[in-house]
Amino acid sequence: MIARSSALMATEVGPDEVPSLIDELPLFLLAAARAQGTSRLRGAGELRAKESDRLQAMAELLRALGVEIVEHADGLDVTGRPEGWQGGSIVSHGDHRLANGGAIAGAASRDGVLVDDPECMGVSFPGFAQTLLELSG
């Protein structure tokens, strides 16, 4: 078997898929931010009632990187930037998934992303920061 890379293409995640992806949706939104085209997430209104309003906070995080976002009550439209982003800083709202997402966005950027509360990154994955450093070289 041979594995090859390819360009990310926009996709849609609908209400029927959300329950099995609820914790992975911030990572999906990061991938959508690098895909060609506009990805759509719907049926994820419950993300507005997590540690933070994750939909609004992810929209804010991606906008800080220059990604075009349209918010909906139950989701987001993300117009990808396949060329990537320079870097920046994000507010995690004390939410470990947002802080981890910001760190991943930093690893995928040219200049890095400053996460305001790196201490919360270990809530769901102790050792996350060290693992990300090891993976990104």
Q: Which helix (H) or strand (E) holds 113?
A: strand 113-115
Q: Which residue stretches of 33-124 are H helix?
A: 54-64, 96-107
The catalytic residues are: 23
Query: Could you tell me if residue 9 is inside a domain?
Result: no
What was the pLDDT predicted at 95?
86
CA-to-CA dists, residue 50 to 59, 124, 137, angstroms? 15, 14, 32
Residue 30 covered by a domain: yes
pLDDT in tens, 103-113: 999 988 889 89
Q: For residue 119, tell me if it sits in a domain.
A: yes
- According to the model, what pLDDT value does residue 14 have? 96
The tally of domains found in the chain comes to 1
pLDDT per position as a tens digit, 8-50: 999 999 999 999 988 888 899 999 999 999 999 999 998 888 7
What is the structure's pLDDT at 124?
Answer: 82
3 belongs to a structural domain:
no
CA 62 to chain centre: 7
Cα(67)–Cα(58) distance, rounded to whole angstroms?
A: 11
Residue 116: other Cβ atoms inside 10 A: 14
